[in-house]
Structure 1
Amino acid sequence: MDISDVIAPDFLYVSLLVALYGILLLSYRILLHPLKAYPGPFLARLSDIHNGYYAMRKSLHLVSRSDHQKYGKVIRHGPNKLLFNTPKALHDIYNNDMVVKSYVYSVFIQTPGVHSLFTVVDKQHHTAKRRIVGQVINDRAFSTSGALSALFFYLSQSPSCYERLATEIRSAFATSHEIRGGPKLAGCQYLRACIDEALRIAPPVPGTMWREPAANNSKPLIIDGHYIPPGTQIGVNIYAIHHNPEYFQDPFTFKPERWLSETPEAQRKSMQDAFSAFSVGYRGCAGKAMAYLESSLVVAKTLWYFDFERAPGKLGEVGGGRPGSHNGRSRLDEFQLYDIISGAHDGPFLIFTSRGDSSASERR
């Protein structure tokens, strides 16, 4: 007897079983799954292939926002995933003892059993690690390169914002030596508004920080009025909520003044509730204060010593979108982020010119 006569029937039998299992699984996810009533992309309801494909293209944040526009504020973005787009959900999820970091963070563990502040799930272990990080945070501030790049990109193409910020900084300080942490720097309100606007429009982490119900929950988990079944992944996409026009009017327009008193208080309160550049709750970024200080010092020192403008020609367009693009990157004046957990980016390319009056004032 030829061995192929034995293997062929067995292979066919196994193939039929796998196909049957696949059909039953997909049918369950569409017809019987606890999340079946939630809208969302059809492929995402069947498989995580939907998210995986766009994650590989570094554009999942763009697709998440687009899907919210199509399907609503609460969407099924995976067989066992619910994606929210409201401030209430933001705080219900990330400031809640009944949820823990999703198991998906385990893929970032490089050494078994060794966790970083980013990957640790247990709350007590996270608190202990955060305490250690807090003790050395003065030597290791949160990376601000993305927000600063975005800020310089938008200032270079927003003459009125550039002029207002430059005037504030150059009027607030008599010499560059005064530019340091303290009341004068903290009093530069437009500077802080520019930094907040850059963090909103180009958040350092533009994707979704997935969470799941804690295994020891004795009470039902309710997120923005929705009961969350055990085993469900839940999250808010930061890029999507930061570009939701319900909370941020003209969301793709760089408008630092939206954060100042010239904007009605009720609108500012709505924006603050939806703002999550550093996350919220006990897992919020431990380096938030240092990030603001570092960004403020860099921008203030730069505008004290220099004027800058976009590089000429095509080089000056680096960092923006491409008109006619159909992948969510068609806005030439939008600083483009590439979602690889943090927001990778290109550009901008700028030309800096030394300010003669600043050097003269330093010598006096």
Structure 2
Amino acid sequence: MSLHLAAYSDSKKYGPVLRHGPNKLIFNSATALRDIYNNEKTNKSRVYLLTVASGKPSIFSMLDVRKHRNRRKIIGQAINDKAMRAFEPAMAEQIEIFIQQLSISSRESAPVDMTERCKLLGMDIVGLLAFGCALNLQTDPTNLHVVTGIAVKAYQHNCIMQCPLLQKLGLENFVERSGSEARLKFAESLQHIIATRLSEPIHARDDLYSTIAAHLGNTADGIETSELWSEALFFLPAGGDTATTAMASLFFYLSRNPRVYEKLVTEIRSTFKQYEDIKGGQQLAGCRYLRACIDEALRITPPVAGTLWRETCEPVVIDGHVVPAGTQVGVNSYSIHHNEEYFPRPFEFDPDRWLVKDEAQLSLMNSAFFAFSLGSRACAGKSMAYLETGLTMAKAIWLFDFEIAPGELGAVGEGIPGKGGERGRRNEFQLYDTFGSRHDGPYLIFHPRGDPLSGAV
């Protein structure tokens, strides 16, 4: 789960292009980003097919460019800006539950694991979007196996994508065996969720099913009802992980950077005169420092920290190197986001870097910003991730002050000084690469805004 750190360490040692496995090349430049991910001569790697269990590939695993383009166009209708405006009330309802949970913890000064809290919020939101299903993870432990099951499956998929031999030998289910019960229980729950939704009228809920109903069974569009659920299933880890990682990372760095914390608090509390005013729209979009903080969290802690593999369809030039057909190529997100050529002081959490007036510097940074991938395969849920993260952070910061939990809990999520393998930076939020990102903490204590007993910055 430290492949992203190995890629970063090796790039420092060997340079901007390195062989990271049989027939695999990792690049570390903005030029390579364009040459790989905006190139018709490269396609998604065949290793993605190893993740297809039902025979129904999703936009995540679909290799055919034309089919992917059609599918993305259809699925994108559920997560574009227009759809997000319609979905915002459902999202806001789940964020209010998140805020209520923080309020309960604040009354007891109880430490809160922000990874867990943000994960449950993200999954509740994406469950409504994908299946019209209220998982109620934030308030009821009944469906917690869904979170565990998805995490186990993501870890297994990452392992077989990195080492396809595991699947050839039938060993993929021996990876993370401790979670096999949760994985099987999740599969059973998923069948129940789908059956329940199909028993309802198509437009009973505002979800993926209702949004693209007109395209179901239309062979010209190339999507059947059975394929829809492959897409909905992909929404769970994809939609949940991005915002979860961004928010947990942002809480971590705000709690350790008083200057940034105070600047963001000032912006949020001066922009919104009352809590009820916090909603999607011009005021939220006008919070430039909040957006800079989110972008910096996505940079320093990329939700997909590893390498998004592509395969050359014919000989292609990548950052000046001629690469033969059939080669696995990619840029490691964590490595390029910590490349000093694009991001000076890469391990410093500095939102102000995104607000400089130097257009050349901004252009250089944006050319290497890879949080949502690039090109035709870029993440379609970008609008959703920014809206969910922005609303949640704004509401939490308007209502509460927070501080690091005392004792050992306060150190959860940090690096350990002296530990090898790039995990020795104490003030770096630690990621574990499972295609998405696993992480723990930070543990924070929340206080009602203006509480004189608060020890918050």
The bucket for the TM-score relative to the shorter chain is 0.7 to 0.9
Deviation at 1:223, TM superposition (A): 1.2
SS of aligned partner of 2:325:
coil
Deviation at 1:266, TM superposition (A): 1.6
Residue aligning to 1:259: 354
Q: Which whole-Å CA distance do the structure 2 matches of 1:155 and 1:252 have between them?
A: 14
Q: How does 1:343-362 map to 2 (within 5 A)?
A: 343-355=437-449
Segments of 5+ residues of structure 2 without an aligned counterpart are 85-128, 131-234, 452-457
Establish whether residue 62 from structure 1 lines up as the match of residue 13 from structure 2: no
Deviation at 1:84, TM superposition (A): 0.4
Q: Which whole-Å CA distance do the structure 2 matches of 1:132 and 1:102 have between them?
A: 23
Deviation at 1:269, TM superposition (A): 1.2
Establish whether residue 72 from structure 1 lines up as the match of residue 15 from structure 2: yes
Establish whether residue 299 from structure 1 lines up as the match of residue 242 from structure 2: no
Establish whether residue 119 from structure 1 lines up as the match of residue 61 from structure 2: yes
1:107 to 47, 50, 68: 50
Deviation at 1:221, TM superposition (A): 1.4
Residue aligning to 2:32: 89
Structure 2 letter corresponding to 1:228: V
Structure 2 letter corresponding to 1:135: Q
Q: Which whole-Å CA distance do the structure 2 matches of 1:319 and 1:132 have between them?
A: 38
Residue aligning to 1:212: 311
SS of aligned partner of 1:155:
helix
SS of aligned partner of 2:10:
helix
Establish whether residue 286 from structure 1 lines up as the match of residue 384 from structure 2: no
Deviation at 1:211, TM superposition (A): 0.4
Q: What CA deviation, in whole Å up to 9, does each residue of 1:291-314 have, x standing for no partner? A: 111111001000111111110111
Residue aligning to 2:244: 145
Establish whether residue 223 from structure 1 lines up as the match of residue 166 from structure 2: no
Structure 2 letter corresponding to 1:121: L
Structure 2 letter corresponding to 1:199: L
Residue aligning to 2:259: 160
Q: Which whole-Å CA distance do the structure 2 matches of 1:239 and 1:223 have between them?
A: 19
Deviation at 1:265, TM superposition (A): 2.2
SS of aligned partner of 1:347:
coil
Q: Which whole-Å CA distance do the structure 1 matches of 2:433 and 2:311 have between them?
A: 21
Q: Which whole-Å CA distance do the structure 2 matches of 1:240 and 1:107 have between them?
A: 25
Structure with bigger RCO (C-alpha 8 Å, 6+ apart): 2
Matched residue pairs, number? Answer: 294
Rg comparison, structure with higher value: 1
SS of aligned partner of 1:235:
strand
Q: TM-score, normalised by structure 2?
A: 0.63
2:78 to 121, 131, 136: 136
Establish whether residue 198 from structure 1 lines up as the match of residue 306 from structure 2: no
Residue aligning to 1:38: none
Residue aligning to 1:271: 365
Q: What CA deviation, in whole Å up to 9, does each residue of 1:256-277 have, x standing for no partner? A: 0000035x22222111000000
Q: Which whole-Å CA distance do the structure 2 matches of 1:125 and 1:320 have between them?
A: 43
SS of aligned partner of 1:325:
coil
Q: What CA deviation, in whole Å up to 9, does each residue of 1:318-348 have, x standing for no partner? A: 0011111012101110000000000110011
Residue aligning to 2:224: none
Establish whether residue 317 from structure 1 lines up as the match of residue 260 from structure 2: no
Q: Which whole-Å CA distance do the structure 1 matches of 2:75 and 2:399 have between them?
A: 33
SS of aligned partner of 1:222:
strand
SS of aligned partner of 2:74:
helix
SS of aligned partner of 1:146:
helix
Q: Which whole-Å CA distance do the structure 2 matches of 1:328 and 1:224 have between them?
A: 27
Q: Which whole-Å CA distance do the structure 2 matches of 1:169 and 1:274 have between them?
A: 28
Q: Which whole-Å CA distance do the structure 1 matches of 2:254 and 2:430 have between them?
A: 15
Contact residue 401 and residue 450 of structure 2 kept, 8 A = no
Establish whether residue 238 from structure 1 lines up as the match of residue 333 from structure 2: yes
Segments of 5+ residues of structure 1 without an aligned counterpart are 1-57, 358-364
Give me the CA root mean square deviation.
Answer: 1.3
Establish whether residue 186 from structure 1 lines up as the match of residue 285 from structure 2: yes
Structure 1 letter corresponding to 2:285: A
Q: Which whole-Å CA distance do the structure 2 matches of 1:261 and 1:267 have between them?
A: 8
Deviation at 1:255, TM superposition (A): 0.3
SS of aligned partner of 2:417:
coil
Q: Which whole-Å CA distance do the structure 1 matches of 2:259 and 2:450 have between them?
A: 22
Deviation at 1:356, TM superposition (A): 5.1
Q: Which whole-Å CA distance do the structure 2 matches of 1:158 and 1:313 have between them?
A: 19
Q: Which whole-Å CA distance do the structure 2 matches of 1:207 and 1:119 have between them?
A: 16
Structure 2 letter corresponding to 1:309: E
Q: Which whole-Å CA distance do the structure 2 matches of 1:350 and 1:130 have between them?
A: 39
Q: Which whole-Å CA distance do the structure 2 matches of 1:252 and 1:133 have between them?
A: 36
Structure 2 letter corresponding to 1:74: V
Q: Which whole-Å CA distance do the structure 2 matches of 1:304 and 1:295 have between them?
A: 14
Structure 2 letter corresponding to 1:87: A
Q: Percent identity?
A: 56
More helix as a share of residues: 2
